[in-house]
Structure 1
Amino acid sequence: MTNPSTMRAIWVEQIGEPETMQLRELPIPALKPGFVRLKVDAVGINFADVLAVQGKYLTPTQTPLIPGMEFAGTVDALGEGVSGFTVGQAVACLGGRGGLAEYATVPAQTLVPVPEGLNSAEAAAFPVSYYTAYITLVTLGHAQPGETVLVQGAAGALGTALIQVGRALNLTVIALASTEDKLKIASDLGAHVTLLSERSDIVDAVKEATGGKGVNLLVEITGGEMVQKSLRMMANRGRVLIVGAASGEDGKVSSTALMKKNLSVTGVWLTSMMGEPGVIEDAVAFFTPLLKSGQIRPQVGKTYSLEQSAAAFRDILGRKTTGKVVIEPQR
């Protein structure tokens, strides 16, 4: 057990753009009963982290804030009453906040063991994207072998997870992305069809790729006017799963469009599913053999130091990233 007294951390006093994040020297939080202290090696940055700093996330941002919802490292100390973990053990964490620091104290129940064979960056890239992908396609989407799924933002952290999970479920995967380089990433991961998302005839192109039928499942992350296009891409009794609105605009759902094809639209938020009995246990059982076999592998994109956190957030906003952006506090 180590006893450092201070740590470097990213500190947000007021919500705003990434530049509001400050690198500070802070006291290490006190270790309370039921909590674990981690030495943080890698933080997986999600679009939700960016929204939290901007004050635009689904839940109000409480400041001051150390951002970082998802991270991985080693157990440094155990609080009173904690069992099932050992000092030095590699773990990942869905702590909700606090990751962008050299050390973090988190409730023991937010820790998950790191699957064998994953390094710290891969472990930090796994929980949010892959659990969300499972909940989207399996728990809420009820995907069936042979169905077709359309994945927007296919080269991003969630997109790359959805492609791999879709392939594991024996779905036909249509991937949309903004550049040819990003489509190459999707293709290499096993997407059956890749299409540039910005093309003016995207609805017709998706219809053509499905023999005129449309897709059975569509993972909507764009929002805004894209939602109307998404509805037009659907097959009869298709399911639209709304996971985000990267455009910053809510999409309008036409009740007439839903009725004509008997469509369903479902919102997806990992946080509200975490407490559902059996959901995460089912996801772990699904992923364990796939990770061991190498059929699924977290896709780590560019890595940044703690000092580069604002640049990492800005790159995500500018759609300059692929895979999971990872910040390494010990660098």
Structure 2
Amino acid sequence: MGEARTMVAVEVTAPGKPEVLLPGRRPLPKPSAGEIRIAVQAAGVNRPDVLQRLGKYNPPPGVTDIPGLEVAGTVDALGDGVEGWAIGDPICALLAGGGYAEYCVAPAGQCLPVPAGLSMAEAAALPETAFTVWSNLFERGGLGPGEALLVHGGTSGIGTTAIQLGTAFGARVFATARGADKCRACVDLGAERAIDYETEDFVEVVKEATGGAGVNVVLDIVGGDYVARSIDALAVEGRYVCIGFVRGATATVNFFPVMTKRLTLTGSTLRARPLSYKTALAGQLRTRVWPLVAEGRVRPVVHEVFPLSAAAEAHRLMESNQHVGKIVLSVG
């Protein structure tokens, strides 16, 4: 698109419903030292984008108000000190914001090559979930081979990635989802058993499947009343990791099983973490996960691709919870 002085970007014109997302024109961002400007070809849509649109999740200080936490495209310009990249290289990146635009800038430490065999839409669906799942499932949750994992929201972007990565690293994976079709999708991705939360009790199912022991790790994007039930589903020395709360951010918890089973309750967010942490994560992904993607053992699941101008429609789909995997915006 050349060195245009302005670019098209989707703006949150006011907190509210999806229709507040409207295309506008913004100055072309300039890469600072250590940053890469990316000519965006695709941008992932994530739950935090919806929260930002609603006025409930503002960008960190100094970060653009343009939504979008992950992109794929090509290297357009390099800031001072950036090495290992050339203009035109295929690239995907984790952002703190700015993805819903024709161009964005990202710290070089949060950029990774587009894995072999992936389309730009697939590559744009990878960074946010890969960084989030790796940091929470394997670092905070300490998931190991042979352990049992319960993933809540198995057909979300996080869920589809967690099922595949858990399976690839030798865990027994269980997942919750709504309805037969979504449960089938979880099994197709590698889950040993998918649990329809509308008709089944996930605590009973995982305890029966594990001989009464329970699971070693729960990865939860649901929150609310799922917190106490997840504690019941955990085995001795189990780890509960919360990274979202679709059902609410508060819960009533009986700490007696936390004490008697020596459980760990933890959680995290990624957006405001320092560059040094995200750079270290990117290094782990490049060596541990990107080869699995290139081999086809882990693949981003893209449900639908919308043009950038239809960002509002993409948000409506996300809020309907009818999708399996990721929703992506095509740029240009």
Partner of 1:312: 314
> Sequence identity, in percent?
38
Deviates more, 1:253-262 or 1:183-192: 253-262
Amino acid at match of 1:40: V
2:36 pairs with 1:41: no
Partner of 2:209: 209
Quote how far apart the aligned CAs of 1:292 are: 2.6
Distance 1:274 1:233, change over 3 A: farther
C-alpha separation between the residues in 2 aligned to 1:41 and 1:5? 18
Alignment of 1:83-94 (within 5 A): 83-94=83-94
Quote how far apart the aligned CAs of 1:61 are: 8.3
Partner of 2:198: 198
Distance 1:141 1:161, change over 3 A: same
Q: Is the 8 A contact 1:70 1:99 kept in 2?
A: yes
Partner of 2:104: 104
Secondary structure of the equivalent of 1:227? helix
Give me the TM-score of the superposition, normalised by structure 2.
0.91
The runs of 5 or more residues in structure 2 that have no matched partner are none
Distance 1:61 1:45, change over 3 A: farther
Amino acid at match of 1:44: G
Partner of 2:51: 51
Secondary structure of the equivalent of 1:270? coil
Partner of 1:163: 163
Deviates more, 1:278-287 or 1:211-220: 278-287
Partner of 2:72: 72
Distance 1:202 1:62, change over 3 A: same
Quote how far apart the aligned CAs of 1:34 are: 4.0
Q: Is the 8 A contact 2:59 2:97 kept in 1?
A: no
Distance 1:111 1:278, change over 3 A: closer
Quote how far apart the aligned CAs of 1:150 are: 0.4
Partner of 2:290: 288
2:250 pairs with 1:246: no
C-alpha separation between the residues in 1 aligned to 2:106 and 2:139? 27
C-alpha separation between the residues in 2 aligned to 1:41 and 1:295? 24
Distance 1:34 1:236, change over 3 A: closer
Give me the TM-score of the superposition, normalised by structure 1.
0.92
The runs of 5 or more residues in structure 1 that have no matched partner are none
Quote how far apart the aligned CAs of 1:18 are: 2.2
C-alpha separation between the residues in 2 aligned to 1:60 and 1:287? 28
Quote how far apart the aligned CAs of 1:81 are: 4.0
Secondary structure of the equivalent of 1:240? strand
Secondary structure of the equivalent of 1:38? strand
Distance 1:201 1:289, change over 3 A: closer
Q: Is the 8 A contact 1:13 1:64 kept in 2?
A: no
2:225 pairs with 1:262: no
Q: How many residues align?
A: 330
Partner of 2:233: 233
Quote how far apart the aligned CAs of 1:36 are: 2.8
